[in-house]
């Protein structure tokens, strides 16, 4: 069985967040005044919800992603150049770099925090020889 994954993220300014993800080359599917869906792939979407709307779905207090990390959202890419391109676009659009690049022969990975402080990473896994 295959599933579609919808990741919900609280955002302070929906318009600003939509512009940020558009700058990364991602498209939107549907939108209202309090939420929008960012298409990651055919099976994965990130739902941007204004903080009050997100709080209406949450059973606990909405965390401040600039102070705590609950999840790291990782985007798998095909090669290191795509990793660099995506993270460079994110930084140019206002993201903050997170950590140092990892290049250990098995993976190439760079991280960034989006405009609301959510932790993202771009990752390329090495293809094993043989």
- How far apart CA 115 and CA 94 sit, in angstroms, is 6
More confident residue, 127 or 94: 94
Q: Running DSSP on this structure, what letter comes out for residue 90? A: H
**Does residue 127 carry a pLDDT above 70?**
no
- pLDDT tens by residue, 87-115: 999 999 999 999 999 999 899 999 999 99
pLDDT at position 130: 47
- Dist CA 45 CA 70 (whole Å): 18
What is the average per-residue pLDDT within 115-126? 95
81 phi, psi to nearest 5 deg: -65, -40
| Measured CA angle at 107 (ends 105, 117), to 5 deg | 140
C-alpha 12/C-alpha 18 separation (Å) is: 11
Handedness of CA 35, 42, 20, 83 (dihedral sign): positive
CA atoms within 13 A on the CB side of 3: 3
pTM of the prediction?
0.88
Question: 31-88, pLDDT tens digit by residue?
Answer: 799 999 999 999 999 999 999 999 999 999 999 999 998 899 999 999 999 999 999 9
Partner residues linked to 40 by β-bridges: none
Written as six digits, the tokens of 64 are: 């401040």
Q: How far apart are CA 39 and CA 118, in angstroms?
A: 17
Q: How confident is the model at residue 1 (pLDDT cuts 50, 70, 90)?
A: confident
10-41 confidence digits (pLDDT tens): 999 999 999 999 999 999 987 799 999 999 99
């Amino acid at each position: 069985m295959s599933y579609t994954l919808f990741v919900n993220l609280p955002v302070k300014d929906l318009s600003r967040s939509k512009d940020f993800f558009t700058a990364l080359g991602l498209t939107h599917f549907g939108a209202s005044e309090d939420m929008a869906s960012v298409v990651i792939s055919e099976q994965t979407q990130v739902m941007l919800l204004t903080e009050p709307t997100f709080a209406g779905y949450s059973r606990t207090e909405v965390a401040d992603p600039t102070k705590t990390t609950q999840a790291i959202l990782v985007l798998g890419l095909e090669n290191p150049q795509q990793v660099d391109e995506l993270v460079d676009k994110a930084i140019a659009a206002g993201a903050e770099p997170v950590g140092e690049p990892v290049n250990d022969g098995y993976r190439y990975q760079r991280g960034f925090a989006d405009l609301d402080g959510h932790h993202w990473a771009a990752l390329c896994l090495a293809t094993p020889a043989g």
